[in-house]
A and B are shown apart, each in its own frame.
Chain A
């Protein structure tokens, strides 16, 4: 069977794909996506295609379908395995690239997870041979050695596999005699492979004995200080894992440390951690804390309490040092302990230590701990108060520094604790900015949580955010010297400005007194107005403004805007006007997005409509349809489309712009046809879909003509998102023409439809006139899967709807076989110049009926790289790379 070139699709189907629904394969026609084989002449041939972007799909010459990747060891892979092992072991062959080895390991991991590794090893002796070979080779390449170590670990994870390998092999690989002493040990990947192999291995008591007997732990301890961060981190993880495993093994009564009841491995690791915690070197302390954090975070056995009881005095001693070492790791550990279900709120130990840590650490380090504690439901109230105080301290300092009158500050009034550390921090610019940004981010995270402290100091926080914005804008006039310093540090600081605006936006969820809200609006306006506001700050200011503006009135247009909001709006629109003319495209874009969202909220609000129409904003927005920047054009399309949908078009457009005479629809179609960038075209299709859905006046004039024009333009578009959106528009038209399909699901049993049965032929004629089927069938062969999927769904829903309505009979008359055949042939060959043409409703139905759309959808649902992801393909690739086996099927 010769492939027929299909100009529509840039790929081909696998020749053996079961195209037809229900009919046996051998027939030529059966391999087409047609159901009624009789309408297709033998030899006409289906459009041969492979999976999208899947050249390797040709590899299968046996005719079987490349199904979902099989993860188990199948006979085909087993056949390839000896060859592969030989290639890997062959010093003359280059070792396959790292990613292949990684994939191979992943596969073996999956295979052993689903089956017995003993069986695997027995069935494939080449694997053990490979391991032995690597062990026996003095100067095995580092990549191969690392691979072998990890592979051995995977096989040894099951006790049976471990027993099978135990003996010389495992001790040779992981013991002193192995790579430890070799030159290859200097390569980080070998050390990493060694640790990871052990991590996989350590799953059962036998492995623990192995670790204890072969002196492996000492090496792991030393690897914690490895120059490679990956190795060091993996070593710490391994220790935590072994400790947990070892403790779990010692089931029964909680071990009492003093009587030496800890299992060997656990005893050694705990001893090592204790030693490290007493060390003066910060890295060692960090490692010990990390091991503890991982252990306590993961394991909730009854022994964790004993472990903590033994180690917490040492941790507490860290707090006495100046400065406190490894503060970040300490915070992680304390949070891990506090979160552990083993400790209840009645256990005062962890809480006391957290409280001491909060008071000992600087505000920058204590912040995350404070937030972590506040998130915990069972945290004692006093600690919560303390933690919240830590979070509020920097803002209280800002408020205090810039307060005109001392009583104005409302944060931490009368709370104990001094702001001395904060004061000192605020002296350096980077520290100050870092602290304020962190504080704002943490409070922002806390604000929406149900467990946030109550009462929430909304008003004071608003005041702090507004003050910070003023300080950044240089508008604040603090009286104190600290305020002066803050002013100098923060003036023009974009980072703090952005953080403060984000925070201010979050605070909009809580109400505030009118006075505060007025202040917020003033601060936002100041940001929006300032010529020095950077585009990112402006964007944030727009976002915050949207969040502060009241939502759409409920019910619409019954209540007027509050006088404050109206006043704000009147000041906002001139700013928006100016921003729409900004020379910086990011600003124009943000302003348009803001306009879109603003009008979405308030479009039905009479005061808003009046104010907007009185301003230049709608006209300026429309002018931006010609902007040189494509993002701006796209945003302008969305904004103007929406404004027009709400009847908020400019009263009169200036005649100098192209497309103005033909109205907005013409201008949008012009963009859809001619714009060289995808974004504006995507935006146009979305707007037009929305217009169709909402029955926009311009569309309602001649809907069929509108849909036909849009579909025709869209079908030629190079951007798949435009085509997909075109299908959405087609779907909307379909729904409007045929009525709502049964509950939106093609398979659901439909209720009796409101439209009269006699309307069906007329509706089908309408579909024919707009060439909807034509468009959808073309899209079915689209080279981009999402488009094809969407087209398939559309056709399925159409067919289901028609079937529900009684189908052919309703459509009137029986199909003309010649027309159907011609249509299908035309479709298969995908001749762009000769689309299906206007089909009679009956022919349309027949065409739909003849296609195996469900099967098609199933195939489309399969991931396009399913063939490449199969283990067999991987093995073949590796062999091919080594030149052992000719890979005949690579189409490239």
Chain B
């Protein structure tokens, strides 16, 4: 069993598991941090950006974190754990010869589609006149300013995919539900479990009859909108692959939400605007819910909230229809019937308005001071670029970063000097290390495999020994482009016995509770399933003249020697020998058993745990006599 680690990013994993005869890809996250090396793509021509020295506004956004560690066309299935971890899917399904199936839950697919759609839309609506790739040449790259010259594997960076590729990729997905058991070629069974992190997010169990691998990716134990995490089904795993923990282990989400609200209120009360760069789905639902409760108490009911994204409308509406994927509280609202999320009411009362982009209706309705939620969190493309340009000059305004995926300082770099206030309130509801250690205590896997980042404290806080995985035995760590042999061997395989064969067995109890029977059968293997069938019957005689004995046709059914079991009690054996006329018997103890020495007959009987040898000089009669005496102590069947 091997694990190929294609991504070194702990929260955007991409691993391939070879298990029995299957090749399973676990997630295909897309690390977009390389976009930070590029200039923002403004919606309107920005003289400031285009005049920046030493920055060239040319190449598109390209990023892909893959290596040629494994031939991706051999991948049988891809299991997706949440919508953030499927963003590289088109690169794999469309460009590698992949012919397998992708499994994901319905919300994952729908919201993943929205994220991809938004990404493609953001990129495509500002087409570039020219593209450059020559700079990727190592010799030229060396001459580029830092940090670009230090960027690794620039050659693997790719252009953004198209909507067509997205659609094609998504068509290869097969929808699954929580706890649904999916057979892969009869060899293994995969099951998604609720992971509590996002709508439809899942952990996966990959198991055969005797082995169980759990894949935990992006899970949360906090009470937010999705269904709570299913922990019990993770028990008794041989290996637990642990990825997607919180990226900001020191920030408690509750504290951050409080911080978010406080800073938002403070800015708006001062007459400033608030910009929240965010993804169109996920934490934004929780933020809107918090604000729903908070704005009245903070006297902000008159402040407009704008949500701008090409998929804003779909995102807000999708969230309301996936009732079965929501936490219990929200599910029960559906039966009232009420919309599960309160943002429906915000929209109804005109407190929250959503627009596909800054063009069109938005420019008519736009009123300040206001709060704007828009993408992309990297600040390199999307409508957020416009608002950064618009509001960056005033110290009354605030940009509040809630997504932890990008370094906010790097994201802000091209906008400097910036007068607006910047607040960093990363809200990451994924497991923190305290929760992980509780989870591992509860689930007790035999082995834990995780990215190497989790086995040491974060580099910036090397003294925080609490910010790492602490388990026994120590977790196995992996890094990008590493192949890990998972530390357990398969020892058993399940074989079925056909009923008629089972009927013919005559078990014999050899110990209380243990019965044995000999089986003669034909082992039939197909689709990774093994079945013992009764030996084929002899062909019925076609004519009555020539009858053949059954045994002649079936070589397997030669006269079988009985199998023996039991142990020989030496003292009784000696007594029996004496009874049968042997005298001068000597018993010697050896490391493995006993030697009974018949000195008169010059014969040795060597009794060991699993064998008995009678050594005598060409006296077959004596040997047979002795053998029969030995056999008296053993059971035959």
Contacts and interface: CB of A to CB of B under 8 A. Distances in A.
Contact of B258 (A474, A531, A627): A531
A488 B466 contact: yes
Interface string A480-492: 0001110110011
A582 B261 CA distance: 7
A218 interface: no
Nearest to A484: B465
Which of B251, B269, B462 is the most central at the interface, judged by chain A CB atoms within 10 Å of its CB? B269
Which of B290, B299, B462 is the most central at the interface, judged by chain A CB atoms within 10 Å of its CB? B299
A725 to B, nearest CB: 27
Which of B262, B294, B425 is the most central at the interface, judged by chain A CB atoms within 10 Å of its CB? B262
Interface in A560-583: 577-579, 581-583
Contacts of B425: 531
Contacts of A587: 258
A488 B255 contact: no
A578 B262 contact: yes
Contacts of A616: 266, 269-270
A477 B461 CA distance: 8
Nearest to A620: B269
Interface in B230-286: 250-252, 255-259, 261-263, 265-266, 269-270
Nearest to B463: A477
Nearest to B259: A531
A476 interface: yes
Given A616-B266, A623-B269, A583 B252 contact: no
A491 B464 CA distance: 9
Given A488-B466, A491-B466, A628-B297, A583 B461 contact: no
Which of A579, A582, A620 is the most central at the interface, judged by chain B CB atoms within 10 Å of its CB? A582
Contacts of A623: 269, 299
Which of B256, B258, B294, B296 is the most central at the interface, judged by chain A CB atoms within 10 Å of its CB? B258
B552 to A, nearest CB: 77
Interface string A532-570: 110000000000000000000000000000000000000
A572 to B, nearest CB: 15
A474 B296 contact: no
A103 interface: no
A272 interface: no
Q: Range of interface residues on chain A? A: 35 or more
B69 interface: no
B261 A531 contact: no
Contact of A488 (B256, B257, B465): B465
B504 interface: no
Interface string B347-369: 00000000000000000000000
B269 A584 contact: no
Given A483-B463, A531-B425, A629 B297 contact: yes
B506 interface: no
Which of A492, A531, A616, A620 is the most central at the interface, judged by chain B CB atoms within 10 Å of its CB? A531
B583 interface: no
Classify the secondary structure of B's interface with A.
helix
Contacts of B257: 583
Contact of B262 (A488, A581, A626, A629): A581
Contacts of B256: 531
Contact of B261 (A479, A530, A581, A620): A581
B182 interface: no
Contact of A657 (B259, B262, B299): B299
Contact of B250 (A474, A477, A579): A474
Contacts of B265: 581
Contacts of A584: 258
B256 to A, nearest CB: 6
B266 A532 contact: no
Contacts of A477: 461-463
Contact of B266 (A483, A488, A578, A626): A578
A222 interface: no
Contacts of B302: 656
B298 interface: yes
Given A474-B461, A487-B463, A620-B269, A582 B252 contact: no
Nearest to A656: B302
B463 A476 contact: yes
A367 interface: no
Contacts of B252: 492, 531-532
A493 to B, nearest CB: 11
Contacts of B461: 474, 477
Contacts of A487: 463-466
A585 B250 CA distance: 24
A628 B259 CA distance: 19
A627 B466 contact: no
Contacts of A654: 269
A856 B537 CA distance: 118
A583 B463 contact: no
B367 to A, nearest CB: 14
B191 to A, nearest CB: 35
A530 B255 contact: yes
A185 B10 CA distance: 70
A525 to B, nearest CB: 15
A428 B256 CA distance: 30
Interface string B290-321: 10011011110010000000000000000000
B266 A583 contact: no
Interface string A612-645: 0000100110010011110000000000000000
Interface in B32-88: none
Given A577-B266, A582-B262, 4 more contacts: A531-B259, A581-B261, A583-B262, A620-B269
Interface of B: 250-252, 255-259, 261-263, 265-266, 269-270, 290, 293-294, 296-299, 302, 425, 461-466
16 contacts: A477-B461, A477-B462, A484-B463, A487-B464, A488-B466, A491-B464, A581-B262, A581-B266, A582-B261, A583-B294, A583-B297, A620-B266, A627-B297, A629-B297, A654-B269, A656-B302
Closest 10 CB pairs of A and B: A531-B255, A581-B265, A531-B259, A488-B466, A581-B262, A532-B255, A583-B261, A477-B463, A628-B297, A484-B465
